Structure 1
Amino acid sequence: MGGWAIAVHGGAGVDPNLPLERQEQAKHLLTRCLNIGISALRSSLPAIDVVELVVRELETDPYFNSGRGSALTEKGTVEMEASIMDGAGRRCGAVSGVTTVKNPISLARLVMSKSPHSYLAFAGAEEFARQQGVETVDNEYFITEENVGMLKLAKEANTILFDYRIPTIGLDTCSAAAETSLQMNGLPISVYAPETVGCVVVDGEGRCAAATSTGGLMNKKSGRIGDSPLIGAGTYACEVCGVSCTGEGEAIIRGTLAREVAAVMEYKGLGLQEAVDFVIRERLDEGKAGLIAVSNKGEVACGFNSVGMFRGCATEDGFMEVNIW
């Protein structure tokens, strides 16, 4: 056994023109979240507790697209989704269409531990949240001025605007971006980067866990569900590894990306980084995405085919890094 390891992500597909100041903000947040996870692992907290703890922090900070700061639907509302999986016993929980739950990842954890089900959505998920007494807030809490501006741009461009977290004041590149030939499920998109958040952990006992949370796509249709809450697509954990994905949800769903990493490890005997590279290369077709992963041997890996991915990782032997490109 190789000790504990942790990785976090704040989304794949970063605008190459992202201002340095915003890059530093992202790195600072990822570092803070990594340190929270490291402290928890040093206190011998189980992997499943650590991934929830870290993703809660990412949901609470409005920088990335989850919880507060979530992308807005075409109606200007927030519909959040999240999933969590414990590799020990392959237990999982997921939620979609959540509009008032402050920390969707914790509701997903409750679905796993306090309900007979694996997945609850929309009104049913909200009702379960009230029954469980989790913290709820008005939908307005999740909406930021920046995202209101981005939704306006998306509507003007008549597209799903992927969210770069670039200040929208004076942004005149939208029309040019809208003319690019990028497509998602056959529909043109303006720019690419949904900043979903996620965390994967292997603890000192070799137990793997994964958690993913997102607001989805800017200007998405109401009721759209992406890969993040889908076990095997956006999130997967088993005895061998834990995986959290980010990027073009429709492509990740088609490629069952997270499960595929575990499958090639289990059935092809590939190592962790080898499995990640194989899946990014062979299973995304034309899609753009990235993922983070840990193995039960204490290894950590990431891979992406987009311009960049907000990510950070650390291992018990003192290795730690935070990168974007």
Structure 2
Amino acid sequence: MQAMKNALLTIVAAGLALLAPTAAFADDHGGDHGAEKPKWSIAIHGGAGTILPENITPEQRVAYEAALQEALDAGTEVLKNGGSAMDAVKAAIIPMEDNPLFNAGRGAVFTWEGENELDASIMDGRDRSAGAVTGVKTVKNPILLADKVRTNSPHVFLMGEGAEQFAGEQGFEVTPPEWFATQSRRESLERMKARELSALDVDLKFGTVGAVALDQDGNLAAGTSTGGMTGKRWGRIGDAPVIGAGTYADNRSCAVSATGWGEYFIRVGVAQDICSRLRFLRLMDPEVLKALMMRPADSDEIDLPQFSEQAQNAADAVMAEVKKLGGDGGVIVAIPEGDVFYSFNTAGMYRGRANSDGLNEVAIFGGEDEAGASNTPDH
């Protein structure tokens, strides 16, 4: 009986340590590890869905791969020069918001009323500060406005006219509607209305864009931006601007950005669920428990065991849950150890990743990655 009590006390003590807001993790990129070179990593996505080779021309494939590489390079440049994860996330997302190939910023889908309404969110893993906007129509780069909400307002989430008023007060220029509108997106809406189709019938992919990053100081960040779903009505809001559903970052666990059928990602709470699972997996890991119990009383740091496989499994499990409910999509994930990976339950996902070890790759279809991706469409 006493042994059981001791075991329970150990778990409780470990849980309190891991759950404490001030707890810090010392791993391969942090803590006192001598002259070891700090790690950095980044992953991006540009949408997930029924993305098959037969649905894309060779020219389209080249264009998407070039756009993904441009975004990846922008984020990589920040990180390799010692910049913050937050700045890297913004740097990677802005080119995708400006590129009409993606459903974010320029190239956003149309609402039922024929307008482009934009959503975005961003989160800093250092202090879990976050900012989000939804339903904005005149802001060229919503991810930048979301970050201003995080840093320059007492709020987390602003909507519609209020968000645009805040944007004006922060010095954002008013971007005219024609900047966002593209003919292909307008045709999707017209086809939807004429044939009484669903958004899934006219959009073969969810074009939401996002990025997650780990910087050389060991900090995580995540951001997501989207135009939503074709023909959305009644002020519909998806998961992209919802902290905990489409975006989440916490230095103690991971950073996640999602793309997919937003209603299901909201119901599952995908981004935070993945991060929460990782925190509790660490809690139950014998090596973590041992490190917690043996650390000096005046230290808030612990050495983490390698956790890549467990992290991939956690992401896959959450995406399987989304699939079980009827939803499709994918996530990109970054963890403190320096690994970045994907999990998606669709045929493909526009994606890319890079790190300080020299990895640099972009991919579109399932099974194209050397490692670090799980594509499980049959869940």
User: Which ranges of 4 or more aligned residues in structure 1 deviate by more than 3 Å?
Assistant: 189-192
Residue in structure 2 matched with residue 274 of structure 1 by the alignment: 313
Residue in structure 1 matched with residue 94 of structure 2 by the alignment: 56
User: Are 1:13 and 2:53 counterparts?
Assistant: no
Identity %: 41
Residue in structure 1 matched with residue 106 of structure 2 by the alignment: 68
Give 1:80 deviation, angstroms: 0.4
Kept after mapping to 2: 8 A contact 1:276/1:301: no
Give CA deviations for 1:253-292 in whole Å, capped at 9, x if unaligned: 1110111110110112363212211211234422111000
- What letter corresponds to residue 168 of structure 2 in structure 1? R
What is the rounded CA distance, in whole Å, between the counterparts of 2:50 and 2:64 in structure 1? 11
Kept after mapping to 2: 8 A contact 1:153/1:161: no
Residue in structure 2 matched with residue 35 of structure 1 by the alignment: 73
Residue in structure 1 matched with residue 150 of structure 2 by the alignment: 112
- What letter corresponds to residue 299 of structure 1 in structure 2? D
User: Are 1:306 and 2:342 counterparts?
Assistant: no
Alignment of 1:85-164 (within 5 A): 85-162=123-200
Distance 1:73 1:301, change over 3 A: same
The partner residue of 2:250 within 238, 241, 250 is: 238
The partner residue of 2:265 within 247, 252, 271 is: 252
5+ residue gaps, structure 1? 163-188
The partner residue of 2:121 within 79, 83, 89 is: 83
Which one has the bigger helix percentage?
2
Give 1:161 deviation, angstroms: 2.8
Distance 1:138 1:190, change over 3 A: closer
Give 1:219 deviation, angstroms: 1.0
What is the rounded CA distance, in whole Å, between the counterparts of 2:87 and 2:345 in structure 1? 30
What is the rounded CA distance, in whole Å, between the counterparts of 1:284 and 1:238 in structure 2? 25
Give 1:190 deviation, angstroms: 5.3
TM-score normalized by structure 1? 0.89
Give 1:21 deviation, angstroms: 1.6
How many residues in Structure 1 have an aligned counterpart in Structure 2? Answer: 299
Give CA deviations for 1:224-268 in whole Å, capped at 9, x if unaligned: 100000000000000121100001111111110111110110112
Give 1:134 deviation, angstroms: 1.1
- What letter corresponds to residue 330 of structure 2 in structure 1? G
TM-score normalized by structure 2? 0.77
What is the rounded CA distance, in whole Å, between the counterparts of 1:15 and 1:318 in structure 2? 27
SS in 2 for 1:236: strand
Kept after mapping to 2: 8 A contact 1:242/1:294: yes
- What letter corresponds to residue 212 of structure 1 in structure 2? T
Alignment of 1:214-229 (within 5 A): 214-229=226-241
Residue in structure 2 matched with residue 212 of structure 1 by the alignment: 224
Distance 1:26 1:105, change over 3 A: same
- What letter corresponds to residue 86 of structure 1 in structure 2? D
Kept after mapping to 2: 8 A contact 1:160/1:217: no
What is the rounded CA distance, in whole Å, between the counterparts of 2:120 and 2:223 in structure 1? 7
Residue in structure 1 matched with residue 4 of structure 2 by the alignment: none
Residue in structure 2 matched with residue 263 of structure 1 by the alignment: 276
Give CA deviations for 1:293-322 in whole Å, capped at 9, x if unaligned: 100111111010011000000111001211
Give 1:222 deviation, angstroms: 4.2
Kept after mapping to 1: 8 A contact 2:42/2:355: yes
Moved more, 11-20 or 306-315: 11-20
For CA contacts below 8 A with separation 6 or more, give which structure has more relative contact order: 1
Residue in structure 1 matched with residue 18 of structure 2 by the alignment: none
SS in 2 for 1:324: strand
Q: CA RMSD in A?
A: 1.3
5+ residue gaps, structure 2? 1-27, 30-38, 283-306, 366-379
What is the rounded CA distance, in whole Å, between the counterparts of 2:198 and 2:145 in structure 1? 27
Give 1:150 deviation, angstroms: 1.2
